[in-house]
Amino acid sequence: MTPGASRDPLHGGPSDWEGIVARYAWADSDELDAYTFSVIAGKTVDEVIRAFGGDPEVSWLMTFAEAVEAQASHPYEAYDLLRVLTVGPHVIAIEWGRHGSIPEIARRASAEGGEFFSLHRSVNAGFQVMHARDGRVDGMFDPFEFEDSARTKPEPELPAWAAGVTFHGETLCAESFALMERTMGVAVDDAWLDTELRTARLSSPAELFGQSKTAWLP
């Protein structure tokens, strides 16, 4: 799917959807134990860095592996690294951390007419998909909870923007990335992981939000 393509659920039919999911098979590999990918529309790169808690005036070029190594080698320093690039009108933000999974970040990054979508996978195999528009989170869920959801009573309800998607354990992340592509109209390329991208240091969530609990609530 390319930027500007139709966002209709399962655009082009099931075979097209299955092809998109297959393209994201890398996301379910054991090589990536944790990540957060965010796609933002309606903002500049500098605005996104600020929304995530970084200083756009200070940045480096780093690959994903280099960023992971830098963070892992300083486990007692409360900071994360955010790698960013632009694809057409979209800003892509890639982390080993979790800033993009925090609702308040989604609100800040989508404020004043913007749109935000993030996919988070934790080291403990926790998952989260979140979408926000114009400063308001309109859906946040764990796709794992929707595996075999028809057997759950009461059956959980997906947000309208995720309608028609079925999640399966072995392709959970691939399906989530396909949903990101369908919703935002831009494809995520795993080659970005090995590409040196502009990288900014982020303040920790504790520094950004203090003891506020509302920052973590949708």
Question: Mean pLDDT throughout 143-153?
Answer: 71
pLDDT digits 0-9 by tens, 109-134: 999 999 999 999 998 878 999 999 99
The CA distance from 209 to 41, in Å, is: 24
The answer, yes or no, to whether residue 44 has pLDDT greater than 50, is yes
Its pTM surpasses 0.85: yes
According to DSSP, the residues that pair with 62 across neighbouring strands are 197
Q: 77 Cβ partners below 8 Å, 6+ apart? A: none
Q: Using one digit for the tens of pLDDT, what is the confidence trace for 172-214?
A: 999 999 999 999 999 999 999 999 999 999 999 999 999 889 9
- Mean pLDDT to the nearest integer, 137-158: 79
64 and 194 Cβ atoms separated by less than 8 Å: yes
The dihedral of CA 31, 24, 131, 94: what is its sign?
Answer: positive
Q: Residue 7's pLDDT is what?
A: 47
Identity at 92, one-letter amino acid code: I
Task: Note the pLDDT of residue 190.
Answer: 96
pLDDT at 6 over 50: no
pLDDT at 125: 79
CA distances 95 to 23, 54, 151, 159, Å, are 21, 13, 34, 25
Q: What average pLDDT score do residues 130-148 get?
A: 93
29: helix, strand or coil: coil
CB 127 within 8 A of CB 142: yes
Contacts of 24 (CB under 8 A, 6+ apart): 173, 174, 175, 177, 178, 188
Q: How far apart are CA 67 and CA 164, in angstroms?
A: 36
d(CA 67, CA 79): 11
pLDDT the model gives residue 4 = 35
Whole-number average pLDDT of the chain: 89
Alpha carbon distance 166, 2 (integer Å): 22
Residue tagged 């190594």 (tokens): 69
**What are the CB-based long-range contacts (under 8 Å, 24+) for 154-161?**
159/131, 161/131
Q: pLDDT at residue 14 above 70? A: no
User: DSSP secondary-structure letter at 54?
Assistant: B
